[in-house]
Structure 1
Amino acid sequence: MIRLEKIGKQNGRQIVFIEASAALQKGEKVGLVGPNGAGKTTLFRMITGEEEPDEGQVATDRGITIGYFSQDVGEMAGCSVVSAVMDGAGPVSVVATELKQIEAGLADPDRMDEMDALVERYGEVQARFEELDGYALEGRAYEVLAGLSFSQEMMDGDVGKLSGGWKMRVALARILLMNPDVMLLDEPSNHLDLESLIWLEAFLKNYEGALLMTSHDREFMNRIVSKVIEIDGGTLTTYSGDYVFYEQQRALNETHQQAQFERQQAMLAKEIKFIERFKARASHAAQVQSRVKKLDKIERVEPPKRRQSVAFEFQPAPRSGDDVVIIKNVHKRYGSRTIYEGLDFSIRRRERWCVMGINGAGKSTLLKLVTGSTPPDDGSIAVGGSVKLGYFAQHAMDLLDGELTVFQDLERSFPQAGQGSLRALAGCFGFSGDDVEKRCRVLSGGEKARLVMAKMLFDPPNFLVLDEPTNHLDMGTKEMLITALANYEGTMLFVSHDRHFLAALSNRVLELTADGIHQYGGGYTEYVARTGQEAPGLRS
């Protein structure tokens, strides 16, 4: 359906693609992977025609429809959420909007004198809406929005009043409702809670068109794709298999290439040694010349391109007491909405609690109560002796001084630390070379998250409270963080929608549901085995 034929592309001084080729066939579900800045978004934009390759061509089958979801959502306002979603399906949304306006007019006593005209126009518009299969489409729009965790009130409310994260979901819903021949999804798993993520996973598995997507969620990617296209060093390499197969195959290829490189280097060293030893002897002149010619003709094996992955090791955290947090009879309300009514919960040293529950269940509120960011309305929260707390929350990224560079921010936070150790810390969290000179105001969401995390873990607390720590992090940084936290000897309380993160790090589960609060010994994997569900909101 889509073929990339020997494409070349340069952005300024950066060469993005060199004679790169790949194909997306009908019905294929393909993961697009590669380091940040490798050119994944550029590839999407070339397929949609927003950018042209400098060389080669992007060929698409005639008449196919392409839906492209990107992180750049654009302006949304002036209509309901459901109307904004139906917009993606073409003219039917305009008819739907007029139908709603006429219905409002028919119910308005101040417009009694217009009733005959309104009734007549309503008949015409309704007929057109039925002709476009509008009622079925509207039903599907509500279904998609429900899958992405919108409440009925939100669906019928003004799209302009939504936060950026919810507008992302509206943009994604439009592409899903559009049901194009080809879907291009750039990080669709960002900004989704676990229930929405699992719903989207099922939707995409059943989608019959061709799919090309990026995602920093390893589990999500692995369950959907059956082919992986990797961008690395300007080339495109295709692997037939899921994400785990790609990882294994890539590692195997690297091992083979390294062995081949080392064998050739040994052979070259031997030949060069012979040439150096006998080049001055007339009796060996013919042999020397023969070997020089042979070396000139040999095609050199390149060493494998190794991904930069730096390990981060915690300094030992001071030991806390055995009782880390004790919560007794806590009540918490926001306006008329009760979040907690008589909550009793305790955390012991070295426990790793993951908190699960649907949107609005009180996950982040619990973390705020424990860290003292929000006071309870009633009851008590006691933090144990010798507890040194570290709290990672999304708002922490807004507290960075925009005028400081990454390195200046680290220096200000740790004035006693040496430059070498701070540079090593920055490198572990993805700030290498000139990246440490970037001002905080120009950092992406992922870079800000990495900087805040680096600062928190350099002088480690013995109690970590983490609210969605993997949001914005790429797979490499996530893996580094998981490895580091797996070796961490302190206590953890965290919320995450990343199943790989949950399974790797939890040894207790606190589940918040409408039926009450449930505690499970064992981590997320045991929770799934015991409940038969990957998230509480999916329970039938």
Structure 2
Amino acid sequence: MIRLESIGKQNGKQIVFIDASAALQKGEKIGLVGPNGAGKTTLFRMITGQEQPDEGQVAVDRGVTIGYFSQEVGEMSGRSVVTEVMDGAGPVSALITEMRALEADMGDPDKADEMDTIIERYGEVQHQFEELDGYSLDGRAREVLDGLGFSQEMMDGDVGKLSGGWKMRVALARILLMRPDALLLDEPSNHLDIESLIWLEDFLQNYSGALFMTSHDREFMNRICTKIVEIDAGSLTTYSGNYEFYQQQRAIAEKNQQAQFERQQAMLAKELDFIARFKARASHAAQVQSRVKKLDKIDRVEPPKRRQVVDFEFRPAPRSGEDVAQLKGVSKSYGSRTIYDGLDFHVRRKERWCIMGVNGAGKSTLLKLITGTTDPDAGTVSRGPSVKVGYFAQHAMDILDGDRTVFEQLQDTFPQSGQAPLRALAGCFGFSGDEMDKKCRVLSGGEKARLVMAIMLFDPPNFLVLDEPTNHLDIATKEMLITALSAYEGTMLFVSHDRHFLAALSNRVLELTSEGVRTYGGGYTEYVQSTGQEAPGLRS
């Protein structure tokens, strides 16, 4: 269906692709992986024709329809959410628009002379509309929106009043409703909660078209992708299997290449030593010349390309008392909507609670209550006297000074620390080289989140409260964060839609339900085994 044939691409001084080739066949589900800046989005833009390769070609079979979801959401306002989604449904949407115009013409007395032509055209359009199952479009649009977490009220509300994250979901719904021959999805798992993520996973598993996607969620990739295409140093390498299989194969290939490299280096050293020892002896001239020619003809084995992975180690957090936080008889409402009524909850030292609950269940509200960001309407919230709270939430970005660079922000926050540890800290969270000189005001939302996380973890509190800490983090940074938090000696309370993160770090689960709260003594893995569901209300 889609072929990338010996493509070359350069952006400014950066060489993105060199003689790179790959293909997407009918029905295949391929994950595209590579470090940030490797060219994943550039590849999608070349497939859709928004950019052209400098060399080679991108070939798309005639008649193949492509739906492309990117992180750039256009202007949305002036109509309902469901109308906005239906407008992206390709030919059906165009037919709806024409039918409405023809219906208006049929009621226009000034067009009486054209009525026969109008009625004839209306019949043709209506027939096409029925063939494309257009009358079910509204229902199908609402089904997709429901899967992505929209309430009926939101579906009929003004799309312009939605936040950026919800507009992303609208853009994703438009592409899914379109059902093209090939889906190109650039980070579709961003901005989704775990329930919507699992719904999308099921949708894509059952999708009959071809799929080419990027995602920072390894579990999502594992369950959907049957092939992985890796971008590395300008080349494209295809691996058959899911993300976990790709990791295993990549590790084996690196090990084999390293062994080949070392064997060849040993052989070359031996030959060069012989040449150096006997090059001045006339009796060995023929042998020396023969070995020099031999070395000139050898194809040199390159060492495996090493991805730079920086480990982050916590400074020891101060020890807290056994009682970290306690809620007694807490009630909280927003207007007429009651979130909690008489909630009791106790957090003890070294517990790692993950909070589960459907949209609107009160997950973020609970975190705000425990950190003192929000006061309860009734009841009490107390924290131990030696508890030092570190709270990561979206408003945490407000601590950044837009006029300071990334490195200046770190220096301002930790004036007693030397440059080396602060540069290492920045590197751990994806800031290296020129990126450390970026002004905070020009950072993306994901970059700001990474910088705030770095600041919070450099001088660690003994009670970490984290609201979706992995949003916008790539897989490598997530792995670094999980490794670091696994060694953390403090207490944790967190909300996350990343199942790998949940399983790796939780040892307690608090589930918020309409009937009240339920607690589980084990972590997320035990919760799934116990309940038979990966998220509230969803069967696994």
Q: TM-score, normalised by structure 1?
A: 0.94
More displaced, 421-430 or 455-464?
421-430
Mapping 1:54-453, distance limit 5 Å: 54-90=54-90, 92-93=92-93, 130=130, 133-453=133-453
Aligned counterpart, 1:115: none
Instruction: Tell me the amino acid that sits aligned with residue 51 of structure 1.
Output: E
Cα pair 1:194 1:498 within 8 Å, conserved:
yes
- Structure 1 match to 2:23: 23
Question: Partners of 2:421 and 2:473 in 1: how far apart?
Answer: 23
- Identify unmatched segments of 5+ residues in structure 2: 104-117
Q: 1:356 to 1:268 in 2, by over 3 A?
A: same
Displacement after TM superposition at 1:131 (Å)? 6.3
Q: Which amino acid aligns with 1:28?
A: E
Contact kept, 8 Å, 2:99 with 2:126, in 1: the verdict is: no
Q: In the aligned structure 2, how far is the partner of 1:248 from the partner of 1:395?
A: 39
Deviation at 1:306, TM superposition (A): 1.1
Post-superposition offset of 1:533 = 0.4
Following TM superposition, by how much is the alpha carbon of 1:432 offset from its aligned partner in structure 2, in angstroms?
1.8
Closer/same/farther in 2, CA of residues 139 and 259 from structure 1, 3 Å limit: same
Shift of 1:132: 5.2
Pair 285,487 (structure 1): closer, same or farther in 2 beyond 3 Å: same
Task: Tell me the distance in 1 between the aligned counterparts of 2:45 and 2:217.
Answer: 22
- How far apart, CA to CA, are the structure 2 residues paired with 1:53 and 1:267? 41
How many angstroms does 1:76 deviate by? 0.7
Deviations 1:275-321 (A, max 9, x none): 12222222222221111111111111111011111111111111100
In the other structure, the counterpart of 1:118 is none
Residue by residue over 1:416-465, the C-alpha shift from the partner in whole angstroms, topping out at 9 and shown as x without a partner, is 11111111111221222222112112222222121111111111111000
Q: Aligned residue for 1:538?
A: 538
| Contact 1:82–1:141 under 8 Å retained in 2 | yes
How many residue pairs were aligned? Answer: 527
How far apart are residue 365 of structure 1 and its match?
0.5
Please give the per-residue CA displacement for 1:77-129, whole angstroms capped at 9, x wherever unaligned.
Answer: 111111111111135436657989999xxxxxxxxxxxxxxxxx99x799576
Distance 2:196 2:459 in 1: 35
* Partner Cα separation in structure 2 for residue 337 and residue 267 of structure 1: 75
TM-score (norm 2): 0.94
Write the deviation string for residues 454-493 of structure 1: whole angstroms up to 9, x where unpaired: 1111111110000000000000000000001011111000
Q: Which moved more, 1:471-480 or 1:309-318?
A: 309-318
**Counterpart residue identity of residue 285, structure 1:** A
- AA aligned opposite 1:519: T
Cα contact 1:9–1:54 (8 A) shared by 2:
yes
For residue 538 of structure 1, give the secondary structure of its aligned residue in structure 2.
coil
Counterpart CA distance in 1 for 2:401 and 2:537 is: 38
Displacement of 1:351 after TM fit? Answer: 0.2
Q: Distance in 2 between matches of 1:471 and 1:422?
A: 23
Matched, 1:465 2:437: no
Do structure 1's residue 514 and structure 2's residue 514 form an aligned pair?
yes
> Sequence identity, in percent?
79
The equivalent of 2:109 in structure 1 is: none
Contact 1:83 1:97 in 2 (8 A): no
Question: Which deviations, in whole Å up to 9, do the C-alpha atoms of 1:257-282 show, x marking residues without a partner?
Answer: 11111111111111112212222222
Q: 1:97 to 1:519 in 2, by over 3 A?
A: farther
Q: Stretches of 4+ moved more than 4 A in 1?
A: 94-103, 124-132
CA displacement at 1:539 relative to structure 2? 5.7
- Cα offsets for 1:370-391 (capped at 9, x unmatched): 1111111111001012111111
1:173-219 residue CA offsets vs partner (Å, 9 max, x unmatched): 11111000000000000000000000000000000000000000000
Secondary structure, counterpart of 1:457 in structure 2: helix
Q: What residue number does 2:112 align with? A: none
Query: Could you report, residue by residue, the CA deviation over 1:303-362 in whole angstroms, capped at 9, with x for unpaired residues?
Result: 101111111111111110000001001111111111111110000000000001111110
| Alpha-carbon distance in structure 2 between the residues aligned to 1:74 and 1:399 | 29
- Tell me if structure 2 keeps the 8 A contact 1:30–1:212: yes
Q: Give yes or no for contact 1:83–1:93 (8 Å, CA) kept in 2.
A: no
